[in-house]
Amino acid sequence: MKQQLDAIRETAEKELENIKTTADLDSFKVKFLGKKGELTNILKQMGKLSPEERPKMGQLANEVRAFLENKVDEQTKKIKDIERNLKLASETIDVTMPGKTAPLGHKHPLSIVLDEVKEIFMGMGFDIATGPEVEWDYYNFEALNIPADHPARDTQDTFYITEKMLLRTQTSPVQIRVMEKQKPPIRILAPGRVYRSDAVDATHSPLFHQIEGLVVDKNITMADLKGNLEQFAKRLYGEDTKIRLRPHHFPFTEPSCEMDVSCFRCGGKGCSFCKGEGWVEILGGGMVHPKVLKNGGIDPEEYSGYAFGVGLERLVLFRFNIDDMRLLYDNDMRFLSQF
């Protein structure tokens, strides 16, 4: 038994010197000091010894165990030092190295064109106005001279929350809210999100953006509307851009018109984009209806005004020659990174 203990001590000491990792050290402890280890197996044979030999062999076995445990502790410290140094070396940061450049974002095409439109009209003396997207039926329809039986008030076209509350279908309600709180002269631009019950396709969406313009003062005429819209078109699409006004009907303006601009692709000669007409329709407007002025608390005998509304998405599609409105909302970085 003494020879076996001496052999275990010698073998274990040699193996211990070659151990370099914590995992190997754990295996070593199981092999020699575990419950089924070699030293434990020797101690299980103590019952076969005579009473005189047991104390001596027991003392020797304890010495071997203590020796191995001390060696394990020493090797554990060495391995931890080695592993710590290796980790520090692998995680060393060279503060003199240049940092990695983080990719910077940029404006969405909707924001690019909206900012351009704001800048154009603010340069003409307009202020930016906003209003709630959850709107009362009164501001969205009644105050704008849209009667209860008008098709635009159909539940198939409008997202109603209650009988009298809805998601606004246009930014025109901002006109009434501003007129209620502010006396003329009024020159505002009201951009914002609007909602209509449309199926999603290349040119329609249940959520889109509209830009509403309103001017109210003494002696405002259609000539003022035409002049400002012409200036707007030339600033947005180029000095060679021409406009034309066509008669139309809107409940909240009288007279009303739609505005076309000369085709951006063919310069008015006619192409597939403008369907051979040379003109592209971009917005509607007209003189504010006297009833709308009254509903806003303004005397139509003393003041007159004009209003116009344009879809931001339409401007963006024309501005960048995009043929599908859905691209503006897909968040595809391959598309957005082009702007």
**Does some domain include residue 105?**
no
CA–CA gap between residue 14 and residue 86 (Å, rounded): 24
The arithmetic mean of pLDDT across residues 255-281, rounded, is: 82
**Does some domain include residue 100?**
no
Tally of CB atoms within 10 A around 5: 19
| Domain identity same for 148 and 80 | no
| Domain identity same for 40 and 119 | no
| Domain identity same for 76 and 119 | no
| Domain identity same for 258 and 328 | yes
Which pair of structure tokens corresponds to residue 18?
């070659």
Beta bridge mates, 166: 135, 160
Place 215 in a pLDDT band, splitting at 50, 70 and 90. very high
| Domain identity same for 149 and 247 | yes
**Does some domain include residue 101?**
no
The arithmetic mean of pLDDT across residues 140-150, rounded, is: 88
The number of distinct structural domains making up the chain is 2
Mean pLDDT, the chain, rounded, equals 86
What is the tally of helices (H) and strands (E) in the chain?
A: 11, 9
| Domain identity same for 134 and 210 | yes
What would the pLDDT profile of 77-92 be if each residue is shown by its tens digit?
888 888 888 888 788 7
| Domain identity same for 85 and 116 | no
More confident residue, 155 or 282: 282
- The amino acid present at 178, given as its one-letter code, is V
Determine contact, residues 258/248, Cβ cutoff 8 Å. Answer: yes
DSSP 8-state class, residue 324: -
* pTM score: 0.67
251-272 burial: b if 16+ Cβ within 10 Å, else e:
bbbeebbbbbbbbbeeebeeee
306 closest CA partner among 94, 44, 126: 126
Which residues, including other chains, have CB under 8 Å from residue 113's CB and lie 6 or more apart? 236, 312, 315, 316, 319
Which residues, including other chains, have CB under 8 Å from residue 314's CB and lie 6 or more apart? 282
**How would you classify the pairing of strands 186-195 and 127-128?**
parallel
| Domain identity same for 16 and 160 | no
The arithmetic mean of pLDDT across residues 10-16, rounded, is: 74
The arithmetic mean of pLDDT across residues 121-150, rounded, is: 93
**Does some domain include residue 161?**
yes
**Does some domain include residue 169?**
yes
185 closest CA partner among 304, 323, 59, 308: 304
Q: How far apart are the first and last CA of the chain?
A: 85
The pLDDT value given to residue 54? 66
Q: What is the CATH number of the domain that holds 207?
A: 3.30.930.10
| Domain identity same for 121 and 256 | yes
**Does some domain include residue 244?**
yes
Place 56 in a pLDDT band, splitting at 50, 70 and 90. low
**Does some domain include residue 209?**
yes
| Domain identity same for 71 and 121 | no
* DSSP H helical ranges for the chain: 2-17, 22-33, 38-43, 53-90, 109-122, 137-140, 173-181, 222-237, 290-295, 312-320, 333-336
Q: Is the pLDDT of residue 312 over 90?
A: yes
Place 148 in a pLDDT band, splitting at 50, 70 and 90. confident
Q: Of 35-39, 250-254, 322-326, where does the model show the most confidence?
A: 250-254
Q: Is the pLDDT of residue 39 over 70?
A: no
Determine contact, residues 284/309, Cβ cutoff 8 Å. Answer: yes
Range of the domain at 242: 110-336
| Domain identity same for 122 and 226 | yes
More confident residue, 220 or 157: 220
Which pair of structure tokens corresponds to residue 163?
């009988």
The pLDDT value given to residue 311? 92
Side-chain half-sphere of 318: how many Cα atoms within 13 Å? 24
**Does some domain include residue 55?**
yes
User: Token pair 């290796």 is at which residue?
Assistant: 86
What would the pLDDT profile of 62-78 be if each residue is shown by its tens digit?
777 777 778 777 778 88
More confident residue, 290 or 157: 290
List for the chain the helix, strand, coil content (%; round to 5). Answer: 45, 20, 35
Place 45 in a pLDDT band, splitting at 50, 70 and 90. low
Q: Give the least confident one: 35-39, 112-116, 157-161, 281-285.
A: 35-39
CA–CA gap between residue 282 and residue 171 (Å, rounded): 16
Phi, psi of 223 (to 5 degrees): -65, -35
CA–CA gap between residue 19 and residue 24 (Å, rounded): 6
The arithmetic mean of pLDDT across residues 173-189, rounded, is: 95
| Domain identity same for 175 and 304 | yes
